[in-house]
């Protein structure tokens, strides 16, 4: 009678087929491990596929010291992972996977095709080509331990049956809770807490800011370029940014607001007063701006309207809201504008103030701040200090950075290090 071949157990199971999970699984398999990758959604890389408005800001090409300055939380913990697999290594990795890349303004790196799918598919190919077995529509319900050591997982497969799979090592790469429609619903935090880990409070980061300003409803879909904004907490400046600022039904967004959102969210949670002061003319001093307005007025007919003067200074969409802010009717004759009103215009152009009263929820946040406490994880291996054989990678950790490709690099670096399964 022919003997049935005994099933070989997996060496490692990776939970979550996102950026960190696929990098970890592919790396472990490439190093000769038998790897199972478990994903609860119907396809891999759901969040990667929509990142960067569908273009995917893969990483940032800044030098290491500049890169480190953009990591907002636990940068020292991240340093060994970045040293092992840095931004240059990530660029080489994707180019070897057949993805051509471009470096754009701000040293941001994108696929030349402009398609985030190319990055997601390259990561998937890395797994498949190295022999990773992938289970989709499969939800892990428990990480199994014996004493202080991992020995497998319990999961529910796509048919709804509960199963168990044994292994010596488990990598948790389940993401955060931002963009929950992509499958990031916080499963990893529950696994970590069940196994004795501390989870730092979760809050949205890189998220739009909500303002109570009466004009905010009139400037939706407006994108301002080359402006300077200062975030104030309890009337003290805490952060200044230069670049693009956008307005939408979600709130104040664009790169400037997103980079400031981490500080704003923390302050709002602490019930502190927050405001955003926008300099619409950062290249001009008040004196130069005053001279320019005087020249514009001198060249206009006295019968022309104030709104026409504003149009020479700001985008058309801002004319009516700015006139209302100044309490000057847009149909007021330029010749009747007083010097006091000109000074008020200058002060507003150099410091339009938006009270910040709330922030957009996780559904609109790019990343999750908070997560598995980093001092409970070995930074040189990504292995838990509490449970042997348990590893963490990506957004599930209390690691987050500014917008600009930094957060995906965190996923790639920590995923790569976890997948090396160092002891």
pTM of the model: 0.91
pLDDT of residue 4: 41
Q: What is the pLDDT of residues 200-246, one digit of tens each?
A: 999 999 999 999 999 998 898 899 999 999 999 999 999 999 999 99
pLDDT at 153: 98
- Does the pLDDT value for residue 163 go beyond 70? yes
Euclidean distance between CA atoms 385 and 74, whole angstroms = 17
**How much is the pLDDT for 5?**
45
Q: Residue 254 pLDDT more than 60?
A: yes
Burial 184-194 (b: 16+ CB within 10 A, else e): bbbbbbebbee
Model pLDDT for residues 259-277, shown as the tens digit of each residue = 999 999 999 999 999 999 9
Task: Specify whether the CB–CB gap between 24 and 33 falls below 8 A.
Answer: no
pLDDT of residue 221: 87
- Of all residues in the chain, the percent with pLDDT exceeding 90 is 92
Q: Give me the pLDDT at residue 423, please.
A: 67
The answer to whether residue 6 scores a pLDDT higher than 80 is: no
* pLDDT for res 386: 98
- Calculate the average pLDDT of the chain: 95
Which residue, 155, 177, 179, is CA-closest to 15? 155
Domain ranges of the chain: 12-203+365-419, 208-360
HEC-encoded secondary structure of 31-80: CCCCEEEECCCCCCCHHHHHHHHHCCCCEECCCHHHHHHCECCCHHHHHH
CATH class of 12-203+365-419: alpha beta
pLDDT given at position 2: 41
Between CA 106 and CA 75 the distance in angstroms is 20
**CA-to-CA distance for 74 and 376, rounded, in angstroms?**
12
**Confidence grade of residue 7 (pLDDT, cut at 50, 70, 90):** low
Q: How many CA atoms lie within 13 A of 384 on its CB side?
A: 25
């Amino acid at each position: 009678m022919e003997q049935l071949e005994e099933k070989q157990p997996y060496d490692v199971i990776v939970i979550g087929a996102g950026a960190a999970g696929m990098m970890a699984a592919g790396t472990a398999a490439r190093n000769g491990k038998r790897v199972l990758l478990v994903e609860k959604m119907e396809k891999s890389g759901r969040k990667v596929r929509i990142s960067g408005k569908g273009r995917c800001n893969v990483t940032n090409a800044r030098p290491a010291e500049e890169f480190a300055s953009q990591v907002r939380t636990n940068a020292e913990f991240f340093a060994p992972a970045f040293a092992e697999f840095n931004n240059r290594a990530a660029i080489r990795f994707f180019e070897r996977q057949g993805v051509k890349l471009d470096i754009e303004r701000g040293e941001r790196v994108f696929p030349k095709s402009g398609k985030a799918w190319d990055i997601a598919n390259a990561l998937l190919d890395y797994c498949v080509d190295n022999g990773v077995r992938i289970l989709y529509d499969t939800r892990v319900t428990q990480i199994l331990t014996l004493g202080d050591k991992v020995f497998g997982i319990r999961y529910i497969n796509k048919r709804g049956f509960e199963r168990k799979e044994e292994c010596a090592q488990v990598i948790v790469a389940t993401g955060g809770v931002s963009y929950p429609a992509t499958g990031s619903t916080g499963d990893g935090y529950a696994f970590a807490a069940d196994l004795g880990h501390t989870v730092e409070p979760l809050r949205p980061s890189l998220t739009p800011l909500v303002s109570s300003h009466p004009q905010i409803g009139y400037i939706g879909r407006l994108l301002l370029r080359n402006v300077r904004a200062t975030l104030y907490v309890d009337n003290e400046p805490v952060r200044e940014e230069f670049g693009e600022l956008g307005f939408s039904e979600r709130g104040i967004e664009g790169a400037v607001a997103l980079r400031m959102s981490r500080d704003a969210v923390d302050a709002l949670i602490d019930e502190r007063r927050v405001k955003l002061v926008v300099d619409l003319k950062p290249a001009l001093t008040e004196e130069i701006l005053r001279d320019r307005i005087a020249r514009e007025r001198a060249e206009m007919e006295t019968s022309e309207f104030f709104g026409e003067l504003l149009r020479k200074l700001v985008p058309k969409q801002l004319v009516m809201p700015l006139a209302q802010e100044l309490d000057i009717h847009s149909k007021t004759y330029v010749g009747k504008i007083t010097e006091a009103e000109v000074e008020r215009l200058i002060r507003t152009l150099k410091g339009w103030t938006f009270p910040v009263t709330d922030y957009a929820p996780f559904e609109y946040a790019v990343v999750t701040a908070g997560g598995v406490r980093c001092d409970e994880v070995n930074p040189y291996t990504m292995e838990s200090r509490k449970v042997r054989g348990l590893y963490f990678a990506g957004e599930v950790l209390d690691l987050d950075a500014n917008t600009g490709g930094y957060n995906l690099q965190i996923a790639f670096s920590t995923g790569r290090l976890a997948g090396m399964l160092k002891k």
